[in-house]
Amino acid sequence: MSARTVLIVDDDPFIRKLIATTLRNVGDLDLRQAADGEEALELAAAHRPVLVFLDVEMPRLDGIGACRRLRATSDATIVMLTAAGEELEAQARDAGADLFLSKPFSPLDLLRLVDGLPGVQAS
């Protein structure tokens, strides 16, 4: 089976790299990174991810906007990365988000989430 694409979208390169490193040895995943909503849409169109981690606060196109436009063309599982205290759940759900991971997120929760996805099993 070919690798499944996971798209990691966050304007902080540190957080992107941390998530990518955490998921590097989990199953057969093609990990892609984007720094903002616009870049995320381009990569999503090119690589058709099954899972997208989406930060909320980003330059150019923010997470809510990117989520809405992504949802229009993709049935990927969209996980919003929300900072503590952000009251965006309703808005994000309305934009088509499936799950929420609040920052600072637990790496174990991250792994469990990815492990539970159809077609993605920890190796």
**Cα–Cα separations (whole angstroms), residue 1 to 24, 29, 31, 111, 117:** 17, 11, 16, 20, 15
Shortest distance, CB of residue 1 to another protein, whole angstroms? 28
Shortest distance, CB of residue 22 to another protein, whole angstroms? 8
> Near another protein by CB under 8 A, which window of 10-18, 27-35, 43-51, 92-100?
10-18
Q: Classify 67 as helix, strand or coil.
A: helix
**Rounded to an integer, what distance in angstroms lies between the CA atom of residue 69 and that of residue 2?**
26
User: Is residue 80 within 8 Å of residue 88, measured between CB atoms?
Assistant: yes
Question: In the set 24, 25, 108, 119, which binds another protein (CB under 8 A)?
Answer: 108
Question: In the set 29, 52, 53, 105, which binds another protein (CB under 8 A)?
Answer: 105
List the x/- string, 12-41, binding to another protein by CB under 8 A.
Answer: x-xx--x-----------------------
Q: Classify 93 as helix, strand or coil.
A: helix
Nearer to another protein, 12 or 115 (CB): 12
61: left (phi over 0), alpha (psi -120 to 50) or beta: beta
Site for another protein in 55-84 (CB under 8 A): 83
User: Is residue 80 within 8 Å of residue 101, measured between CB atoms?
Assistant: yes
Q: Which residues sit at the interface with another protein, rule CB under 8 A?
A: 12, 14-15, 18, 83, 103-108
